[in-house]
Amino acid sequence: MKILVCISHVPDTTSKINFTDGDTKFDTTGVQFVINPNDEFGLTRAMWFKEKQGATVDVVNVGGPETEPTLRKALAIGADSAIRVNTPATDGFAVAKQLANVFKDGGYDLVIAGRESIDYNGAMVPGMLAELIDANFVTNCISLEVDGTNAKAVREIDGGKETVSTTLPLVIGGQKGLVEESDLRIPNMRGIMQARQKPLNVVEPVDATKETSSVRFEKPEPKGAVTLVSPDNLDELVNLLHNEAKVI
């Protein structure tokens, strides 16, 4: 089985976010970038298929040279090779077109992506990719087993879980539960050294119309001051809730 894992290069959630040029561009100064958490769950599951079933695992990212350290980390975790499509990832449909081209050239059986990235939170790319390559698609996936060309997946739905049976080729939109956080892998020194020798291929993008563009970014309003009320002063608490917060 040949697996393609989609890797997004995203800001760490602890990073302080700012914008420049009149709030039209993201300021990367001082920002630490990481593998998108949902993609990391998928990569860890792919490593299980590699170790238990002999699968081959490639990772792919759509982005500029600045994303290569993130791909190298994926290689250090255990992926066999990496592909970087040399174009900025600014539009979901354009990204899906680039990934579809990589899929068709690579002869993959399974694509594992995160259900969404934590920067744009679009949740569009896996579904559009599945349509472009004419593959089955399961999103919000929290469990995946593959036996030959058959697959069984469990996905979260409103109020519960759903188990589905399907066949390869298959695109997965994974999330926490596909593996647990305790299963995530930290690259060791041996993996880091081996990653330096593994292939990281840069390919040029195919023509793809960008359907959306970011016009302006706006940060959330800062949190207001907190009023502390003594637990012995319930009358003041009720007064504040009624007259100031106006919630009762």
Residue 62 burial (CB < 10 Å; 0-12/13-18/19+)?
buried
What is the token pair recorded at 192? 């880091």
Within a domain: residue 228? Answer: no
pTM: 0.88
Would you give the end-to-end CA distance of the chain in angstroms?
60
Within a domain: residue 245? Answer: no
| Beta-bridge partner residues of 26 | 19
Using pLDDT thresholds of 50, 70 and 90, give the confidence band for residue 210: confident
What's the CATH number where 164 sits?
3.40.50.620
Number of domains into which the chain is organized: 1
Q: Which domain holds residue 116?
A: 2-217
Mean pLDDT of 91-113: 96
Within a domain: residue 225? Answer: no
Within a domain: residue 246? Answer: no
Residue 111 DSSP SS3:
strand
Within a domain: residue 113? Answer: yes
Within a domain: residue 175? Answer: yes
pLDDT of 191 over the 90 cut: yes
Provide the pLDDT for residue 41. 97
Q: What CA dihedral angle connects 108, 110, 114 and 116, to 10 degrees?
A: 80
Residue 69 DSSP SS3:
helix
pLDDT of 47 over the 90 cut: yes
Provide the pLDDT for residue 227. 86
Residue 233 DSSP SS3:
coil
pLDDT of 35 over the 90 cut: yes
Average pLDDT, the chain: 95
Within a domain: residue 75? Answer: yes
Within a domain: residue 231? Answer: no
